[in-house]
A and B are shown apart, each in its own frame.
Chain A
């Protein structure tokens, strides 16, 4: 029987969701709605009788104080009504918890043909509303056709007794699962099948695959299991393992690099080995705090003598680009499984975000899948639900705008965990599988999620076709699993664990079985969301919230008892063996049987041509812009620019203090509204040690040279850490590359060689920066195809590529959090110093962006010189000489003096002529001094009594007193190089400019 419960807020109560809809309809589309009310609908397919349904409605789903509800359509008036529900197979989290509640309260267990499905109905009133308006709202605001469907009812067309007549959104596949034998008679035949089945096999891999399956020894051994030619399960396994996502073919590829001007030629055999692995391993030997790098799901560093911290960063760009909320929540919940699956498992203690999107006010002809404004709304909300509901504080994050990200937006998510360094007397970072260990899958069930996005979308569509390729993360299920696994870890029940992410079981079992050297998997044991999945689908499905765990048979009973107590589903799906074979069965029949070392069989490296043209040769010059005459107006404009202005509304939606260890928050200052340089957290509450964390993103500099983009990004991340009290001797790094396509194609990607050269240069810079600053790379990832082909005004498609982007994350351990610093000046009379030289380095600066110029003088990093200052700064902070410290970043001194003035709420008087300068790259005038983005600089304040000690510490270094803090007035007053007043703005004026751009967002 199918029943619908409709629930709404009582009429006199404020309907926050309805109000938000009214607001967005007006501001996004200029559509006027007088009133919007939202109705929640539960569609229940079950054998519950009316009495039981009435109990469920009344006792579970209706709040007697605030809500009304009915098993009939609620009679709420409207001019138009929009119903929005999920497509079949889309993760319906509230539907699942509703079943849990009914099971607990009424004692009714839901069978596989029963279920609860949630949807919504919006009742809109508006005299001027017409159907086109409502359709626009339904399709562009209330639903996304990838995961949802909608229906529109007019007042006239509404049947009060039938209502929206919501049917269960259930998946019916109605087919018998099977596997197929694939013909490999020729390379062409296999290539054709690869194309048809979307295996994305590299043409150069095809002969290797064929050679393997056609070899006599392989044929003989397969015959014993009843197999000859490869099965689709086997080819899918190879396809997953050889994908760029799993195998990092680009970073392991061969680059023929050539400088078109100097003629320099170099062959790079593996960017990963040369620029990431080798320097990191060398640094690991020098730095005893580095515990585990380069092999596990995340890197591990020492926190104190009993605990280690774990870090990794990911991106989730393509899915977020199609379904922003689903992509982002899946991204953050997914990256949280990496520290969970590192070593024997760590407890999550913080996360961060980075959003790079197009212009939110874009109104040009290009049609991205989602408008940047809507995309940003969605990704913000996705990280909010994913992070908050995981109980993990989101303590840091940045949001960037650039037209290139309209081609593909970037969603960075970073996760940190903490773990005891020993579990039952053994190092927690070591793990392996052994023959005889059971393979257990815990957490969520398997559906068609994430399988071959493209094939799924081109399948013929019916009412019950699963819309599985875009997922919605389920932090609730994962949080239960997180708590459960940590208890298992502490009891010593886990011998190996890893998460199921990209590639699903194929990756997690394929990789973990390499330790024991073999496995037997019974795919029919894998719990499914719905029947009818083929074997290969079960094997590669990327359904979320799952971990693969190796458990010894003698621990199984205890493991399962804890699993039941935590209401986490765990299933034995196979066993690790030492057979040298990956052996997959379905109901006793073999559907895959390949050698564990198949993937080491000499698959060819990818190859790229990289051609570098220096910026001057590309025609870049410094622009001809005369000195502005109104610096007050200019500074206010700078502060209001989207990439500079306050994004407080985003960070306030994120719980950044849960777990109780917050020391330096993401926002600081008198009014708690200025972004901090970095955050500091105490992951171990009984300890006074803290973990400092910062991130930087400076993709603009790639417009001139990705080499300097990389060095400046790392330098900024380091300075941010030092500003809050970080330790220069303990800096861990995480590199997240997002690069446009680098494979040259005359028609499709004519600048591929240049972008490949940019990648090589960025990697060279990465190595140099890491070696000079002593930063081992604890973790890193790459996402290589950040381009979009957007439809334009005339039906043409234009390739829009994102800037070559690297997000660099940095960590440090602080011995005593009471030495931590914030950026706000704290007392009148304190002196303001600038450390580091300002040079004529406006290339690709925010200042030049005002005039839509690029320039050529991109900032350079002088590691050796900067390092001396950084060490002195650390000493100054540890000796408590400073009252505040701030790293100068995007927008230069003008912007960052303003930030500290707003944060301190005190007046400041500053003289630009006192700045330490470097004339080597050209003359310096007021605008260069104010807006140059030279690296290596800080603004610090200190009590005048510490002047002598401070100056002694910085003797011979670029460190000059440029002014003072005062309570005589509340203005930022800046004197120009000619000692005449250049800027005089009140803090209120600065704040107004800084807040106004997104000021009405909450």
Chain B
């Protein structure tokens, strides 16, 4: 069977490449960490891969807006390659800083498949500070998103200072109406946070934590699924493990909901035969 090749961007202050590569590996893909300049110079070709991951970090120090300079650089030097990548039905995921870059390139939300327009913004958290905490997410079952197939709820950590999604109300309404909203911040029961802090950690409009394009093949989210690559990543694991132990059970062999998200992508490529 053909291997699924995932390209994970590195360089210029990006920093989640190691664990993103690890999560793809656990999902059955071959992970390739590639410096942005290797794509810019043409040494590495985007077309040789089926999944592109723009991971978390502080590209260009987040100066002049998170993900702004990365987006500019990618648009300037590989804009066409990105559009053909999308045209070929391949997958793109942007996490945290990568999500911010996708938004600034215009790959998201991609209304009417126009992948160059910036009509959503991710700005400073309402709480006024960078924040690291775990959040509860509820997934939209009607979303076409390839990555969240079969996932109804997920816990992941957020780690950002600029994670508040804002746009004109009409844009937000359209995202909701067209089921491009993939993840929303919620309480532990899965009820949307309705803006309340800290369930909604940044004040994001409509509790939006992640969105996809109309095809569901481009996905961006602020929380970090790759940071839940092992059962011991979840903050509740010691308690859950102890209580399960008393029932003769264990947490150890379950695939985490973090890895599930990457596996969905890898499985999709396998099934599509790309």
Contact of A685 with B125 at beta-carbon distance under 8 Å, contacts A97-B64, A100-B60, A480-B11 already known: no
Q: Establish whether residues B35 and A565, one from each chain, have CB atoms under 8 Å apart when the complex forms.
A: yes
Which residue, of A17, A60, A93, A1002, has the highest number of chain B Cβ atoms within 10 A? A1002
Contact of A97 with B60 at beta-carbon distance under 8 Å, contacts A480-B11, A653-B130, A665-B235 already known: yes
Q: Establish whether residues A16 and B124, one from each chain, have CB atoms under 8 Å apart when the complex forms.
A: yes
Contact of A105 with B227 at beta-carbon distance under 8 Å, contacts A480-B11, A682-B232 already known: no
Contact residue among B65, B69, B130 (Cβ-Cβ distance under 8 Å from A655): B130
A672 within 8 Å of B (CB atoms): yes
Q: Establish whether residues A480 and B13, one from each chain, have CB atoms under 8 Å apart when the complex forms.
A: yes
Interface residues of B in 96-133 (CB under 8 A from A): 104, 118-121, 123-133
- How far apart sit A824 and B239, CA to CA, in the bound complex (Å)? 8
Given the complex, which residues of B lie within 8 Å of A566, measured CB to CB? 11, 35, 37
Q: Establish whether residues A567 and B12, one from each chain, have CB atoms under 8 Å apart when the complex forms.
A: yes
Q: Establish whether residues B35 and A66, one from each chain, have CB atoms under 8 Å apart when the complex forms.
A: no
Q: Establish whether residues B128 and A1002, one from each chain, have CB atoms under 8 Å apart when the complex forms.
A: yes
A14 within 8 Å of B (CB atoms): yes
Which residue, of A17, A483, A653, A656, has the highest number of chain B Cβ atoms within 10 A? A483
- How far apart sit A507 and B218, CA to CA, in the bound complex (Å)? 51
A411 within 8 Å of B (CB atoms): no
Contact of A60 with B68 at beta-carbon distance under 8 Å, contacts A97-B61, A658-B159, A668-B235 already known: yes
- How far apart sit A997 and B133, CA to CA, in the bound complex (Å)? 21
Given the complex, which residues of B lie within 8 Å of A104, measured CB to CB? 69, 72-73, 76
Nearest Cβ distance between residue B250 and chain A, in whole angstroms?
8
Q: Establish whether residues A475 and B61, one from each chain, have CB atoms under 8 Å apart when the complex forms.
A: yes
Contact residue among A16, A105, A670, A817 (Cβ-Cβ distance under 8 Å from B126): A16
Q: Establish whether residues A388 and B12, one from each chain, have CB atoms under 8 Å apart when the complex forms.
A: no
A826 within 8 Å of B (CB atoms): yes
B243 within 8 Å of A (CB atoms): yes
- How far apart sit A780 and B126, CA to CA, in the bound complex (Å)? 41
Q: Establish whether residues B13 and A20, one from each chain, have CB atoms under 8 Å apart when the complex forms.
A: no
Q: Establish whether residues B124 and A101, one from each chain, have CB atoms under 8 Å apart when the complex forms.
A: no
A64 within 8 Å of B (CB atoms): yes
A126 within 8 Å of B (CB atoms): no
B38 within 8 Å of A (CB atoms): yes
Interface residues of A in 966-993 (CB under 8 A from B): none
Contact residue among A63, A105, A665, A685 (Cβ-Cβ distance under 8 Å from B19): A685
Residue of A nearest to B20 (CB): A660
Given the complex, which residues of A lie within 8 Å of B208, measured CB to CB? none
Interface residues as binary, A102-126 with B (CB distance below 8 Å gives 1, 0 otherwise): 0011000000000000000000000
Interface residues as binary, B122-163 with A (CB distance below 8 Å gives 1, 0 otherwise): 011111111111100000000000000000000001010000
B210 within 8 Å of A (CB atoms): no
Contact of A97 with B69 at beta-carbon distance under 8 Å, contacts A19-B128, A658-B56, A660-B22 already known: yes
Q: Establish whether residues A63 and B232, one from each chain, have CB atoms under 8 Å apart when the complex forms.
A: no
Q: Establish whether residues A105 and B13, one from each chain, have CB atoms under 8 Å apart when the complex forms.
A: no
Residue of A nearest to B240 (CB): A826
Interface residues of A in 47-101 (CB under 8 A from B): 59-61, 63-66, 93-94, 97-98, 100-101
B245 within 8 Å of A (CB atoms): yes
Contact residue among B119, B131, B224 (Cβ-Cβ distance under 8 Å from A65): B119
Q: Establish whether residues A391 and B57, one from each chain, have CB atoms under 8 Å apart when the complex forms.
A: yes
Contact residue among B60, B129, B239 (Cβ-Cβ distance under 8 Å from A476): B60
Contact of A65 with B118 at beta-carbon distance under 8 Å, contacts A19-B128, A97-B61, A1002-B129 already known: yes
B16 within 8 Å of A (CB atoms): yes
Contact of A476 with B58 at beta-carbon distance under 8 Å, contacts A483-B10, A653-B129, A658-B159 already known: yes
Given the complex, which residues of A lie within 8 Å of B119, measured CB to CB? 65
Nearest Cβ distance between residue A53 and chain B, in whole angstroms?
15
Given the complex, which residues of A lie within 8 Å of B132, measured CB to CB? 651-657
Q: How many residues of A contact B (CB 8 A)?
A: 69
Q: Establish whether residues A653 and B166, one from each chain, have CB atoms under 8 Å apart when the complex forms.
A: no
Nearest Cβ distance between residue A623 and chain B, in whole angstroms?
41
- How far apart sit A668 and B237, CA to CA, in the bound complex (Å)? 11
Given the complex, which residues of B lie within 8 Å of A20, measured CB to CB? 128
Q: Establish whether residues B120 and A65, one from each chain, have CB atoms under 8 Å apart when the complex forms.
A: yes
Given the complex, which residues of B lie within 8 Å of A672, measured CB to CB? 133-134, 235
Nearest Cβ distance between residue A823 and chain B, in whole angstroms?
9
Given the complex, which residues of B lie within 8 Å of A9, measured CB to CB? 123
Interface residues as binary, A15-32 with B (CB distance below 8 Å gives 1, 0 otherwise): 011011000000000000
Contact of A65 with B166 at beta-carbon distance under 8 Å, contacts A479-B13, A658-B16, A660-B229 already known: yes
A384 within 8 Å of B (CB atoms): yes
A543 within 8 Å of B (CB atoms): no
Given the complex, which residues of A lie within 8 Å of B35, measured CB to CB? 483, 565-566
Nearest Cβ distance between residue B223 and chain A, in whole angstroms?
11
B270 within 8 Å of A (CB atoms): no
Given the complex, which residues of A lie within 8 Å of B123, measured CB to CB? 9, 13, 63, 66
Nearest Cβ distance between residue A541 and chain B, in whole angstroms?
23
B264 within 8 Å of A (CB atoms): no
Q: Establish whether residues B235 and A13, one from each chain, have CB atoms under 8 Å apart when the complex forms.
A: no
- How far apart sit A943 and B203, CA to CA, in the bound complex (Å)? 42
Given the complex, which residues of A lie within 8 Å of B235, measured CB to CB? 665, 668, 672
Nearest Cβ distance between residue B92 and chain A, in whole angstroms?
20
Q: Establish whether residues A826 and B243, one from each chain, have CB atoms under 8 Å apart when the complex forms.
A: yes
Given the complex, which residues of A lie within 8 Å of B159, measured CB to CB? 388, 655, 657-658
- How far apart sit A215 and B157, CA to CA, in the bound complex (Å)? 67
B242 within 8 Å of A (CB atoms): yes
Q: Establish whether residues A60 and B64, one from each chain, have CB atoms under 8 Å apart when the complex forms.
A: yes
Interface residues of A in 779-833 (CB under 8 A from B): 817-818, 820-822, 824, 826-827
Given the complex, which residues of B lie within 8 Å of A824, measured CB to CB? 238-239
Cβ-closest 5 pairs across A and B: A391-B15, A660-B19, A65-B121, A476-B61, A94-B63
**10 pairs of residues in contact across A and B, judged by CB atoms under 8 Å:** A9-B123, A63-B68, A101-B64, A389-B62, A476-B63, A659-B18, A663-B230, A663-B233, A818-B252, A826-B238
Interfacial residues, chain B to chain A (CB-CB below 8 A): 10-16, 18-19, 22-23, 35, 37-38, 41, 56-58, 60-65, 68-69, 72-73, 76, 104, 118-121, 123-134, 157, 159, 166-167, 203, 224, 226-227, 229-230, 232-233, 235, 238-239, 241-243, 245-246, 252
Given A94-B63, A391-B14, A654-B130, 9 other A-B contacts at CB below 8 A? A16-B126, A66-B166, A391-B16, A565-B38, A651-B132, A653-B129, A660-B19, A662-B233, A827-B242
